[in-house]
Amino acid sequence: MAFSGGRRKWIFWPGLFIVILCGMAFFRRGEKERYVTERVEQGSITAVVSATGKVNAVVTVQVGSQVSGTLQRLFVDFNSPVRKGQIIAQIDPTVFSAQVEQAMAKRASDEADVEKAQVVLDDAKRNLRRMTDLLSQNLISQSDKDAAQLAYDSAAADLKGQQTQVDQDQAALKTAESNLRYTTIVSPVDGTVISRNVDVGQTVAASLQAPTLFTIAQDLTEMQVDTSVDEADIGKVQVGQEAEFTVDAYPDSSFRGTVQDIYNQPLIVQNVVTYDAIIRVKNPDLKLKPGMTANIRIKNAYREKVLKLPNAALRYRPEEAPGPAAAVKTGKSRVAEVWVLRKGKEVPVAATLGLSDGSFTEVADGDLRPGERVIIEKIRRDGSPSSAGGGRSPSQRF
């Protein structure tokens, strides 16, 4: 009897396990498949080109120095408003003042030499006149008259040389005076100082190139965004298009501008070709500052009261359907197969596509109706999402 009881236990537990598995399979077959869907909507859609760029002042002037020396005084600092012609810095003028005085003394000395040469020329002229008269009376030889002529010509040449030297002195004096004036640094425009690169006591060396002392933005109420547009999108960007952008400093605020210009020069960085598009924007409250990074959306097309579906629906395709989901071009249009949930079943519907804003795509033609639910994703019976789905968070499940 003990052996018979053990045998019954050995048969009972495996049998119970089989019965449980059969029951689970029966109930699993009774479960309905679930879908993640979104509604086909009617509304507006805007096609945009996304890009990044830098905010800059429309006119930025770098103020440098044409002479070398020690910076003696600073009259402005960061954010200082300046007017055209206003003194903003002073280089020690001592050396340049001495050079002006030296040039003036040299000119005075050479002017005295000119007067001396003029006296010599006048004397040689009188002597030549006397020798000419004496020769006419046969009182002197021809050689005496020739010597007087030579002395006169030599005195005239010497006077001309001395006058040329005075002209050189005058030019040297102008150069020295100009260098003296250059020790006073003035603002070339009205604007705001956005950069100061020197301090009092610093030596400015302008031997090879003019060092930048200040950077002045002419008008910070008018700004521009230098935008890098990918070569694949540059054909969609046109002068006059509206643009909207945000900056990290004000993530909840949008700024609007207009495409002002498109540069034809390509910029190639790591084999990526981009083009500069210049966007002009008003900045009356001075929120935008030079150097800010802008995330830009340039509007290149707009439609109102159109039928649109989520882009995730274009990526969905049942696992048993042959081939991947794709939009096929027919002429200038794109035709895609969209799967719709009708009476609990997946039904394919052809749709002619139009504009896309990255999240929604216009349905230009097709058998889709407003409010109809397109399939985004299928949920398997074990609760895992189908790999054919669009990977979106569920908006509604059935």
Looking at the fold, whether 224 and 244 belong to one and the same domain comes out as: yes
Predicted confidence at residue 394, as pLDDT, reads: 39
Q: Residue 38: inside a domain, yes or no?
A: yes
Q: Residue 283: inside a domain, yes or no?
A: yes
Structure confidence by residue, pLDDT tens digits, 356-395: 888 899 998 888 888 889 999 888 765 566 645 444 443 4
What is the token pair recorded at 124?
């040689």
Portion of the chain with pLDDT greater than 70, in percent: 83
Predicted confidence at residue 327, as pLDDT, reads: 55
Q: Band of the pLDDT at 17, cuts 50, 70, 90? A: low
Q: Residue 98: inside a domain, yes or no?
A: yes
Give the separation between CA 238 and CA 261, rounded to whole angstroms: 8
Looking at the fold, whether 254 and 318 belong to one and the same domain comes out as: no
Q: Residue 194: inside a domain, yes or no?
A: no
- What CATH number is attached to the domain comprising 360? 2.40.420.20
Contacts of 234 (CB under 8 A, 6+ apart): 262, 274, 275, 277
Contact 245, 48 (CB under 8 A): no
- Cα(first)–Cα(last) distance of the chain, in Å? 56
Structure confidence by residue, pLDDT tens digits, 41-64: 889 998 899 999 999 999 999 999
Looking at the fold, whether 136 and 158 belong to one and the same domain comes out as: yes
Question: Which of 278, 302, 326 is the last residue before a domain boundary?
Answer: 302
pTM of the predicted protein model:
0.65
- Residues 108-121, mean pLDDT to the nearest whole number: 95
Predicted confidence at residue 329, as pLDDT, reads: 52
Predicted confidence at residue 398, as pLDDT, reads: 43
Q: Residue 212: inside a domain, yes or no?
A: no
Looking at the fold, whether 265 and 340 belong to one and the same domain comes out as: no
Predicted confidence at residue 378, as pLDDT, reads: 85
| Number of domains forming the structure of the chain | 3
Looking at the fold, whether 298 and 366 belong to one and the same domain comes out as: no
- Residue 276 CB coordination number (10 Å): 17
Domain span at residue 290 reads 50-58+218-302
Write the CA distances from 355 to 44, 110, 350, integer angstroms.
Answer: 10, 83, 16
Counting Cβ atoms within 10 Å, is residue 69 exposed (0-12), middle (13-18) or buried (19+)?
Answer: buried
Predicted confidence at residue 268, as pLDDT, reads: 93
- Chain position carrying tokens 């207009």: 258
- Residues 207-213, mean pLDDT to the nearest whole number: 79
Structure confidence by residue, pLDDT tens digits, 175-204: 999 999 999 999 999 999 999 999 999 999
> Worst-scoring range by mean pLDDT, 19-23, 114-118, 278-282, 317-321?
19-23
Q: Residue 242: inside a domain, yes or no?
A: yes
Looking at the fold, whether 295 and 328 belong to one and the same domain comes out as: no
* pLDDT > 90? residue 86: yes
- Residues 122-133, mean pLDDT to the nearest whole number: 94
Predicted confidence at residue 133, as pLDDT, reads: 93
Looking at the fold, whether 366 and 289 belong to one and the same domain comes out as: no
What's the whole-number average pLDDT of the chain? 86
Structure confidence by residue, pLDDT tens digits, 246-299: 999 999 999 999 999 999 999 998 999 999 999 999 999 999 999 999 999 999
Question: What secondary structure, in 3-state letters, does the chain show?
Answer: CHHHHHHHHHHHHHHHHHHHHHHHHHHHHHCCCEEEEEECEEEEEEEEEEEEEEEEECCEEEEECCCCEEEEEECCCCCCEECCCCEEEEECCHHHHHHHHHHHHHHHHHHHHHHHHHHHHHHHHHHHHHHHHHHHCCCCCHHHHHHHHHHHHHHHHHHHHHHHHHHHHHHHHHHHHHHHHHCEEECCCCEEEEEECCCCCCEECCCCCCCEEEEEECCCCEEEEEEEEECCCHHHCCCCCEEEEEECCEEEEEEEEEEEEEEEEEEEECCEEEEEEEEEEECCCCCCCCCCEEEEEEEEEEEEEEEEEECHHHHCCCCCCCCCCCEEEECCEEEEEEEEEECCEEEEEEEEEEEECCCEEEEEEECCCCCCEEEEEEECCCCCECCCCCCCCCCCEC
- What CATH number is attached to the domain comprising 263? 2.40.30.170
Q: Residue 289: inside a domain, yes or no?
A: yes
> Worst-scoring range by mean pLDDT, 127-136, 221-230, 241-250, 368-377?
368-377
Predicted confidence at residue 167, as pLDDT, reads: 96
Looking at the fold, whether 106 and 141 belong to one and the same domain comes out as: yes
Q: Band of the pLDDT at 396, cuts 50, 70, 90? A: very low
For residues 59 and 207, which has the higher predicted lDDT (pLDDT)? Answer: 59
Looking at the fold, whether 241 and 291 belong to one and the same domain comes out as: yes
Q: Residue 112: inside a domain, yes or no?
A: yes
